[in-house]
Structure 1
Amino acid sequence: MAERYSSFQAGGRLWLWQRITAAFLIVVLAFHFFLLHFVHHADEVTFAMSAGRMETWSYYSLMILFLVTATFHGVNGVYNALINAGLTGVKRRAVRIALGVASLLLLVQGFRTANAWAGIDLIPIL
């Protein structure tokens, strides 16, 4: 019988958060498909419509939460898959740092894009 191996610690919070974010992502993706494929067809969606949705706080907040959740879920999943594949030592630390930097860059650019679509200027020009 094969031995079960997981990089997640039994009872650990990262394991739990991986499952919570997966459930959240399924719900948000269902909302996305319903809104953009059944209510509005892909050929009807314009930049102005997207910007209009982003100007409402409920939609903007959902998209920001989606960005953070998807980033965590994806990076945590890739990192743990690499650990499960046998990544150890210096390479493990390098991958952790690289994924951390990539996450930060993704989040910064995602916030910038969401704010631009929503018309939010966090750094006003003097």
Structure 2
Amino acid sequence: MTVLIRRKGVRWLLAGAATAAVITGSTALATAITSGSPLDYRSQAHVAEIVPSTIGRQQAIDAALAAVPGGTVTGADLDHDRGRPEWEVDLTTPDGIEHEVRIDADTGAVLNVGVDDDN
């Protein structure tokens, strides 16, 4: 009888420890992501780390400015949405039209120039 009670006690102890570990780990990860810590997978540094590119930010900006003459750069992000690394450069022209230029991060080729309709 004593052996049976001890085995059930060990099972409950292990189940409780596993539950506590899951709750603690989930809470820590959620806190890290929302606080902008190094675990924030949305951060630009993380994207650059996992998506190597041969074209730097300034080269991508220069290519985008050549594609949209007179534009002012409002942002440039390295992305990997379409199966390859791409720079997405946002520009605004003097008449207020917002453009998004996609640059191949390996070759520097302009892939697309479009009016940014996210706004």
* TM-score, normalised by the number of residues in structure 2: 0.28
**Structure with greater contact order relative to length (CA < 8 Å, sep ≥ 6):** 1
Higher share of residues assigned helix: 1
